[in-house]
Amino acid sequence: MKDTSKHQGLRKQLADVLKKKGIIDDHVLKAIKLIPRHLFIDSSFADHAYQDKAFPIAAEQTISQPFTVAFQTQTLSINSGDKILEIGTGSGYQTAVLIELGASVYTIERQHELFKKTSLFLPKLGYVPKKFIFGDGYKGFKEKAPFDKILVTAGAPFVPKPLLSQLKVGGKLLIPVGDEKQVMTLFIRKTSKEFEKHELGDFSFVPMLQKKN
Ligand code: SAH
């Protein structure tokens, strides 16, 4: 696993691109500058790792576009010590960003191949979540609820009820909702029964799947 000054230079450029696109949270930009994204993707795409693009990873999934990762992270305004549930571990890149910001992360993946691969890889880079969970994100993770923030990194056809109910009062759920395209949707839990909803623009994600293949 190699990280060079060339990669570091490319990351700095990527952070500048993201800044122009509206990422203003310095902690997020710093994480982008630190994390070696080229190590999270297939070596045949590694040369392009610092373009603002999504790429294929294993099991027909994708590593989210850097802007999307930065936007979701910024929107959730992560504080050090936040307890976070992430749905869709994938490559682990978003997980690494959250951990870099000091969060305690529980992350769920339904593809066994990715679950295995990423749970071995991420700790080698020094990023250790509280728990890698192999399972179905539609159910959330009741054992460790409630969470300060819940981040969904796959396109959900609807908002799963368990995710809303596993939020702390004052907590935030960020979820892309839709079939072909998704609307980035933020829910803030105001009281045990009331949620405030904000729609934050169109994005494109791989689907949040309901049954095991
Ligand atoms: N955060 C990841 C994004 C990966 S793409 C990254 O930056 O690499 C979305 C991921 O969600 C895929 O790995 C996919 O397998 C996973 N996924 C899809 N449906 C899911 C579900 N119901 N539960 C848990 N993970 C799911």
In the chain, the largest separation of any two C-alpha atoms, in whole Å, equals 51
Distance 208 CA to ligand 1 centre (A): 7
Which domains are present in the chain?
54-203 (3.40.50.150)
Residue 192 a catalytic site member = no
pTM beyond 0.85: the answer is yes
Average pLDDT, the chain: 95
Nearest CA to ligand 1 atom 17: 88
- Examine the pLDDT at 1 and tell me if it is beyond 80: no
With cut-offs at 50, 70 and 90, classify the pLDDT of residue 43.
Answer: confident
pLDDT of 165: 98
- Say which residue, 213 or 186, is predicted with more confidence: 186
Residue 107's nearest CA partner among 127, 129, 79 is: 129
Contact 61/41 with Cβ under 8 angstroms? no
What value does the mean pLDDT take over residues 114-138? 97
- Model confidence pLDDT, tens digit, residues 53-78: 999 888 888 999 999 999 999 999 99
What value does the mean pLDDT take over residues 101-117? 97
Out of 100, 110, 125, give the residue to mutate to test ligand 1, the one with the largest number of ligand atoms within 8 Å of its CB.
Answer: 110
> Cβ < 6 Å from ligand 1: which residues?
61-64, 69, 87-88, 90-91, 93-94, 108-111, 114, 136-138, 153-154, 206, 208-209
Torsions phi, psi for 3 (to 5 deg): -130, 125
With cut-offs at 50, 70 and 90, classify the pLDDT of residue 213.
Answer: very low
Measured N-to-C along each axis, helices 5-20 and 66-75 cross at an angle, to the nearest 10 degrees, of: 60
Token duo for residue 183: 């609307």
Spatial separation of the C-alpha atoms in residues 174 and 83, rounded to whole Å: 14
Residue 126's CB: how many other CB atoms inside 10 A? 9
